[in-house]
Every structure is written in structure tokens, then in C-alpha cells.
Chain A
Amino acid sequence: GAVVSQHPSWVICKSGTSVKIECRSLDFQATTMFWYRQFPKQSLMLMATSNEGSKATYEQGVEKDKFLINHASLTLSTLTVTSAHPEDSSFYICSALTSSGRTYNEQFFGPGTRLTVL
């Protein structure tokens, strides 16, 4: 099956710093990737849709200037949390969309990145 990786798997940073999280599709090309945030014991909340070669589309309530998304290639999307604060501490998960006929609309998820802001 398709494999999606994330790096780093966990990061601890000081308040006010910026953190970049990478999401890579390892064995397929993904024109569309998604970024989710998950708080403890809660479900996944979609933050934004990342499209290769164009600007990301953000969900309502998500600050685009705080969560910068760059989808520079068909296999890589990055999420940068700028000026991170403790309330940004969360589990960030990306997914990549594969549109093969057999697995219509199926997303493959990365293993997630645990961000802790001190």
C-alpha cells in the first residue's frame, strides 16, 4: 500500500519559535495533501488542504499566517507553525490523496507529529 511519512515524529520547542513539519508520499505522487490536528482523546480536525503548485485552502477558523503550508513538489508538503504557543501543542497528522480508480478518494495517513510547546 501507499506509504506516507512525517518528520519529525515528535518535537519540543520554546514558545515563540517556529516549527516545520514535513509530510512525504514515499511511493506515489500526491497532488493533494491534507493537514489535520488532533487534541488528546479527540477526533481529527481538518486544518487545510495542500495543493501542489498552488496556495493551500484553509478551513474556517484556522489562521493561514500562523500555519504556513507549502506543497512544492508532488511528494512533499510542509506545515510550519509560526510563533508557536503552548495552545498549539497537539498531534499533527498529514494525509495524501490517491485517486486510483480502485481506491477512489482514499487517503493515506502519515504517522503523525507530536508537537509540545513549552
Chain B
Amino acid sequence: SQQGEEDPQALSIQEGENATMNCSYKTSINNLQWYRQNSGRGLVHLILIRSNEREKHSGRLRVTLDTSKKSSSLLITASRAADTASYFCATGGGTSYGKLTFGQGTILTVHP
């Protein structure tokens, strides 16, 4: 079952603006990951944040994790049209080693 919920479900912005997507989950986790999926394609791993980390950066990506609120956010700064894709959070860990549970995803559209 899907334990992650993401909001917004869809986000439309102009190039250069920042995009923030949120993810909430229900059970305890060892880590949380963000993936990107272009339409009809496979997933690309963006970033992994462990449960003992609060913030992580990778290029234009910034991920935060609040385990007390069971939530995470993905910020894409200075967005580009090429960032247009679906973004999913996925939680893993606990007793289910390796298994990931995906959120519902956010469809991001960046207009040039």
C-alpha cells in the first residue's frame, strides 16, 4: 500500500522560480528518497536522506526531513523547463530491507 502522500499533486511554475514539493509518510523509516520520472520513462534517483539527517543538498536540490512530523520536502531552485517531470518520494527501511513505498507523486510543469 502507498503510505506516502505528496502535495501538491500538480504544480505549474515559470522558469526561474523555485518549486517546493512535500511528502508525508506514516510509519518509521530508515531513509527517504526522491525520484524523478519523465513521462513514460523509468525513475531517476535524485537524493537520499537518512532518518538521522535533517537537510541535504545536491546541486539545485534541497531536501529536508522532519521525522517528528513524518514529512519531507523537495525544493528545486531556479527551475528550468527541463525539470518538467513527475517527482516521487519513497520511504524505505524498517523490517522491509530494500523495499520502497512510493508517494502519489507531484507533476511539475515548468513553463519557459
Contact = CB atoms under 8 A, between A and B. Distances in A.
B25 to A, nearest CB: 13
Interface stretch (B14-22, B63-71, B72-80, B93-101): B93-101
A42 to B, nearest CB: 8
Contacts, number: 62
Interface stretch (A62-70, A74-82, A99-107): A99-107
Contact of A43 (B45, B97, B102): B102
B101 to A, nearest CB: 7
Which secondary structure dominates where chain B touches chain A? strand
Interface residues of B, number: 26
Interface of B: 2, 30-31, 33, 35, 40-45, 48, 50, 88, 92-93, 97-105, 107
14 contacts: A4-B42, A43-B103, A43-B104, A43-B105, A44-B88, A46-B99, A105-B48, A105-B92, A105-B93, A105-B97, A106-B33, A106-B48, A109-B44, A109-B45
